[in-house]
Structure 1
Amino acid sequence: MKYVSLSLTMDADHRHPMHQFVVEHDGYEASYLVRGNEVGADVQTLLFHVDGYPPDPYRAALERAESVVEYAISTCPDETFFLYVRDRPSETDRDLVDSLLQVGLVLVSPVAYRADGTVELTLVGPGGTVQRALDALPDEVTADVREVGAYASRRLDTAATLTDRQFAAVSAAVECGYYDDPRQGTTEAVAARLDCTPSTAAEHLRKAEARVMARLVDTDTRQP
């Protein structure tokens, strides 16, 4: 069984208005689709984790979006929020879902709608189905294959707990020896790789570590 990680691009006219909001507004890194019911139906029910703040401008954009039927927002202490939304998919949305799922591939959560306008996702299934899915993509969607390999759910799920920026910070920290024993790297070295301030790098690392540790505790099946 194989997995393929794709980065999809489309122009603003075919992008969902809430994804376009993330693209156009500072402070919103990405929105992550973590669950979906009736995807591709006339009205689909979706749960997103939005890495952005504050939520009020996002809420105002939801009110303006004609495709949104109903929504609810729940804020998190780390300046992110969850979004429950019932939404009418566009024709491009329908064609995209059909092209990816009709050939027998499984979509692995989360799907990342990033601030650079790309949509990053991972599909799992027999290797021969991947090319058929790519061939069936709508003309207005361009796909770049980022990674292909044997499916390893623990590795993919662990990475999925972090935002893109947090994952980049952890990767930079590992590369510069920040987690070595004894420690070789510093937050200044991580910051240099990320092109940010040391305090920002430290904050990314702190949030990443908190998310990974919380996920580890939640998924540990050992009895106390």
Structure 2
Amino acid sequence: MKYVTLSLWMAPEIRHPMHQFVMDHDGYEASYLLRWNDMGAEVQTLLFHVDGWPVEPYQTALEHAPRVEEYALSTCPDDSFYLYVRGRPTEPDTELIDALTRTGLVLVSPVAYRVDGTVGLTLVGPGGTVQQAVETVPDGVSVDVREVGEYDSRRLDTGSALTVRQFEAVAAAVDCGYYANPREGGVDDVADRLGCAPGTAAEHLRKAEAHVMSALLNQRTGPA
């Protein structure tokens, strides 16, 4: 059983307006599609975790987003929030879903709608079927195959929730010796490599570490 990790880029004219909102507004890193009902349904019900703040501008944009029929928000203490939404997919949405969820393939959550405009996702299934899905994505969607291999959920799930910026922060921290013993670099060094303020670098690292540690605990099958 194979997996393939893809990075999709959707043309602006077919990109969902709420993904565009995340790209256009400071304070938002990504939105993660966590759960969904029948993705081929005329009206879909979806659960997102939005890594961003404040919630009010996002809610205002959601009120004006086309095809959204119902939604509910639940805020978290770490400057993020959950979004329950019911809405009607566009024709390009339906075509993309058909290509990626054809018989024999499983779409693994989360699906990451990132601030750089890409959509990160993982498919699992027979190798030939995975290749067919990549070849049949609709016009206006470009596909970058990031990784292919034998499926191991423990390996994939640990890093899948990181945003691009969080991953860059962790990579910079490892490179400068932030995690070395004894420590060779500090948050200021990470910030210099990222080109951001030390407080911003520290926040990226904190969120990345929280995601990874939570994933490791969830993978533990023995008694606590």
Same fold (TM over 0.5): yes
Q: Which runs of 5+ in 2 are unaligned?
A: none
Shift of 1:215: 3.9
8 Å contact from structure 1 (residues 40, 93) kept in 2: no
8 Å contact from structure 1 (residues 103, 132) kept in 2: no
Shift of 1:174: 1.9
Shift of 1:213: 3.0
Report how many residues are paired: 224
8 Å contact from structure 2 (residues 157, 215) kept in 1: no
Aligned counterpart, 1:191: 191
Aligned counterpart, 1:104: 104
Give the Cα separation in 2 of the matches to 1:8 and 1:211. 23
Aligned counterpart, 1:50: 50
Q: How does 1:32-47 map to 2 (within 5 A)?
A: 32-47=32-47
Aligned counterpart, 2:169: 169
Give the Cα separation in 1 of the matches to 2:54 and 2:4. 33
Q: Matched residue of 2:100: which SS?
A: helix
Give the Cα separation in 2 of the matches to 1:196 and 1:24. 18
8 Å contact from structure 1 (residues 51, 80) kept in 2: yes
Shift of 1:79: 0.8
Moved more, 82-91 or 13-22: 13-22
Cα distance change, pair 220–130 in 1 and its aligned pair in 2 (3 A): closer
8 Å contact from structure 1 (residues 32, 50) kept in 2: yes
Q: How does 1:119-158 map to 2 (within 5 A)?
A: 119-158=119-158
Q: Matched residue of 1:13: which SS?
A: coil
Cα distance change, pair 10–58 in 1 and its aligned pair in 2 (3 A): same
Q: Which runs of 5+ in 1 are unaligned?
A: none
Q: Matched residue of 1:92: which SS?
A: helix
Aligned counterpart, 2:21: 21
Cα distance change, pair 116–94 in 1 and its aligned pair in 2 (3 A): same
Q: How does 1:45-124 map to 2 (within 5 A)?
A: 45-124=45-124
Corresponding letter in the other structure for 1:88: R
Q: Matched residue of 1:119: which SS?
A: strand
Aligned counterpart, 2:180: 180
Q: What is the root-mean-square deviation in Å for CA atoms of aligned residues? A: 1.7
Corresponding letter in the other structure for 2:41: A
8 Å contact from structure 1 (residues 103, 133) kept in 2: no
